Amino acid sequence: MLRSYTEARKVFKVYDSDSKLAYQIFNKPHGYWPEIRETMLGWFDLHLKGIDHGAPKAEKAFEYLAEEKLMVFKKGKRPAEVISIAEYCKKKGAELKKTASRPSKADLKKILKFSELELKETHHYADRKSFALETTCGRMIPVSRRKPLDGANDYVIMQKSDFSNSESKKGIVLFDAYASGETADEDSVTTLNPYHTLSRALLWLGRTLYGEWCKEYALLTAWSRQTLGAENIELFGYKENGIVAILTAALLDEKLTVTTEETPSSFVFANRDSAKELSLVFCLPNILKWGDLDSAIDMNTAKVSFID
């Protein structure tokens, strides 16, 4: 909010209207609390009616109405032509997929706001199984590694949150992606909607959380080849992380195997129940104007597998 205020104030000053812009912070949870409403009423009186001095104004007494009285249509009587958000998303998604442009890697990078991270230094820890990858932009990525059990140099790269005791004999590279695990903030780990606030903030700042995660999958792929001598690399992702694995494989100019588990097979809205399993990360503006997950899969020359 303060960042928006600071930028808007520059414009107000240009038009000699600095006195018409102000903000106030309330020590309350999200909502329209009485003190917020009273402050708003005083501000409106000054700037919309030209009266008083903008100080908080006591609001008139009112009673709350029952939800049934506030409904636009009687329960179960909504006209067929007035569709729900879920129905609109399903219909619009199908239309967009039909009219999508010819998918290209360059356009996908623009949608994801993807650019490659540059590795500055690899920090080794005493056990020689744990690392931290420091990038030139100052990001620290915690990484753990298990060597291949069969003598080959095949590796699976996945987020630590997706790992369960694997019976695979491949080597395993685990990492905490941006805002998860060791790099998580309180909002990402304690709320019912992880990544909600962060995803929204990144969109405001012209970035996407999928894009940030793709950057890290890409960096780990290059690092595994150069540092661990990995030959055949598989990207694994559980649920939404599977989408990141697919998109990363589409962006990189190399042959990567991808395995996903309980991952949506499309960005086209299916139904309300399936959407409950997704976070705001799934909101990737303009993706269906570009194509869909099947378009990204076609760009990858290796095998892509969906489990469940």
pLDDT in tens, 194-214: 788 889 989 998 999 999 999
Asked if 148 contacts 170 with a C-beta cutoff of 8 angstroms, the reply is yes
User: Do 45 and 113 share a domain, yes or no?
Assistant: no
- Backbone dihedral angles phi then psi of residue 67, each to the nearest 5 degrees: -55, -35
User: Do 132 and 255 share a domain, yes or no?
Assistant: yes
> Is 168 a domain residue?
yes
Q: Which of 12, 33, 49 is the last residue of a domain?
A: 49
Q: Where residue 109 falls among pLDDT bands split at 50, 70, 90? A: very high
User: Do 115 and 199 share a domain, yes or no?
Assistant: yes
Query: How does pLDDT run across 45-87, given as a tens digit for each residue?
Result: 999 999 999 999 999 999 989 988 899 988 888 898 998 888 8
Q: Which of 30, 49, 68 is the last residue of a domain?
A: 49
The domain that holds 127 is classified in CATH as: 3.40.50.1820
> Is 290 a domain residue?
yes
pLDDT over 70 (residue 116): yes
The residue that leads in pLDDT, 275 or 155, is 155
Nearest residue to 161 via CA among 45, 239, 81 = 239
> Is 273 a domain residue?
yes
User: Do 176 and 289 share a domain, yes or no?
Assistant: yes
> Is 73 a domain residue?
no
User: Do 146 and 256 share a domain, yes or no?
Assistant: yes
Q: What is the pLDDT of residue 168?
A: 79
Round the average pLDDT of the chain to a whole number and report it. 90
Q: Where residue 13 falls among pLDDT bands split at 50, 70, 90? A: very high
User: Do 130 and 199 share a domain, yes or no?
Assistant: yes
Q: Where residue 12 falls among pLDDT bands split at 50, 70, 90? A: very high
Find the range with the poorest average confidence among 47-56, 160-169, 226-235, 249-258.
160-169
User: Do 35 and 179 share a domain, yes or no?
Assistant: no
User: Do 45 and 155 share a domain, yes or no?
Assistant: no
243-280 b/e (C-beta count within 10 Å ≥ 16 → b)? bbbbbbbbbbeeebbbbbbebbeebbbeeeeeeeeebb
pLDDT over 80 (residue 283): yes
User: Do 45 and 159 share a domain, yes or no?
Assistant: no
User: Do 45 and 111 share a domain, yes or no?
Assistant: no
pLDDT over 60 (residue 188): no
List the domain range (segments joined by +) for residue 39.
2-49
User: Do 130 and 279 share a domain, yes or no?
Assistant: yes
Q: Where residue 281 falls among pLDDT bands split at 50, 70, 90? A: confident
Q: What is the rounded (10 degree) CA torsion for 252, 258, 264, 268?
A: 40
Query: Which amino acid appears at position 239 of this protein?
Result: K
Q: Which of 25, 49, 73 is the last residue of a domain?
A: 49
User: Do 275 and 187 share a domain, yes or no?
Assistant: yes
Q: What is the pLDDT of residue 163?
A: 84
Q: How far apart are CA 114 and CA 251, in angstroms?
A: 9
Q: What is the pLDDT of residue 15?
A: 97
> Is 21 a domain residue?
yes
Please state whether the predicted TM-score (pTM) of the whole model is above 0.85.
no
> Is 101 a domain residue?
no
Find the range with the poorest average confidence among 30-34, 163-167, 259-263.
163-167
> Is 111 a domain residue?
yes
The structural domain count of the chain equals 2
> Is 303 a domain residue?
yes
